[in-house]
Each structure stands twice: as C-alpha cells, then as structure tokens.
Amino acid sequence: MSDLIGPKAVFEAARERQVPVVVGVSEGERAFIGVRQVAALVRSLREEYALPVFLNADHTHGLPGAIEAAKAGFDWVVFDRSTLPLADNIRQTREAVEVLKSIRPDILVEGEVGDIGSGSEIHDGTPSVATLTTPAEARQFVEETRVDTLAPAVGNRHGMFKTMVDRGATKRLDIDRIREIRIAAKVFLTLHGASGTDHEDLRRSIAAGITILHINIELRLAWRRGLETALASQPAEIAPYKVLPQAVDSMKALVAARLALLG
C-alpha cells in the first residue's frame, strides 16, 4: 500500500466483518510513503478501534531494509532471497532471522523458497514454467533458518497476465503440494501472488495449509478503476478528497469480496 487509500479500504472492510487483516507494504511503497509514517498510520488505526491489523514489510531483499522495518514497528518482515541458490538463501535468511529477533524478539520473519516471479503488475505474454518448492526444500529451509512463516511456490505467481484481465483466465494451484509442504515445514504458509487465482483453488489452499494470502494486483486494478470512474464523472473536479473516495469504495468492495470468499 503506497498511500492512505489502500489502508483505509482494507481497514474499513475488515472492521465491518470484524476479522484480522495484514497490510503489506513493499520496498518501493515504503520508499514512497515512508517506513515510520506507514507504521504510525497502521498503529493508530489498531489502537483507536482495537482491530487486529498487522503490518507486513513485504518482499524485503536486503538486511538494512529489514532492520529499518523492524525498528519502525512492523509486525512482520518477508525476507526474500529466493532468487539465490538454496544454500545462499538459507544462509542469508538465517542471518536476517537472528538480527531481527535480536532487535524485536516478537517480530515475525518469513522466508521464501521457489519461483513465484516478481512485480505486482499486468504482464505481457503467458506465465513461464516456474520452479515449484518441494517438501524436502521447505523442511530444510525452515529447520536451518528458524523462520516463523514460509512462502512456497505452489503454482502462484506475482502479478497477472493480460489473458487473465482480458479473458478471465485464472492461475491454478498445486493443492497436494501445499498439503505436503505444510506437513514437512510445520510452520504457517503464505500464498503470495494470489490475485487472479481460481476461487475454488483459494478455498482449497486454505484447507490444505495456507494461512495467509497476499492479494495486491487486484487491489491496484480496483484503485485505478475507481479513480478513473470518479474523474470521468467529475471532469472539472480538482480537489483530491472529492474524487479519491470512489477509489476507496472500489478497493473496499474488492477487499470485502475476498474476505467473504476466504471465510
């Protein structure tokens, strides 16, 4: 989330349903909105309304950024070195866990194994064949790094492809693999890149062992469509607070629909 609209939409939808949610902020988004600033915003919402809203430093690729998020008060850091060979990924993630836990023993640290692509955007072409996580890799990674949560590659991909947006195609998940990884890893599992995934697969993934789902590109599309609608209906308007509420409503409707879908 890189502005006030996203947290506001997520928070309002979660508050109406009285369910916990995680607000994820990527490195690029944190650079834009400010690490301490977004932490203060989420903390103020949580304290004022006593709603469990947790702040996630999503896909943090270096230790300095992870340390900054931990010191700012983020609840969770995704330390992502999944593009490295497994041994290097394990070594660097283990170091991150040790450093972050020394700063804040209660902070959650997530690691990632496998190929789920990059970029919460609409890609050209079609998805390439990904390297999926094996149960053996998951077990080794968790045992050697001591991460609290694990993000595996199980058919999920970051972003969406034009075929999905134009023709309604969906991503499909390897449900059996999720179940096997959950048994092997014995930690909570996160499904990154859930946007555009078959709805029944999402439900089945939770039953198989997925605990947290990341939905981003669908929210970005909702933001843009809401803003475009507002600008089209009010072409002479120049006050942001008069056009941005439609972007909030568009994102909020999407969040509410996904919360209802996932139960």
Q: Quickly state the pLDDT bin for 4 (edges 50, 70, 90).
A: confident
Residue 141 carries which side chain, given as an amino acid letter?
Answer: F
Q: 148-196: per-residue pLDDT in tens?
A: 999 999 999 876 666 555 555 588 899 999 999 999 999 999 999 898 8
Q: How many CB atoms lie within 10 A of CB 232?
A: 9
Q: 122-133: per-residue pLDDT in tens?
A: 555 555 556 899
Q: How many CB atoms lie within 10 A of CB 9?
A: 25
Once rounded to an integer, what is the mean pLDDT over residues 59-84? 97
Q: Specify whether the CB–CB gap between 192 and 112 falls below 8 A.
A: yes
**Worst-scoring range by mean pLDDT, 99-103, 112-116, 155-159, 221-225?**
155-159
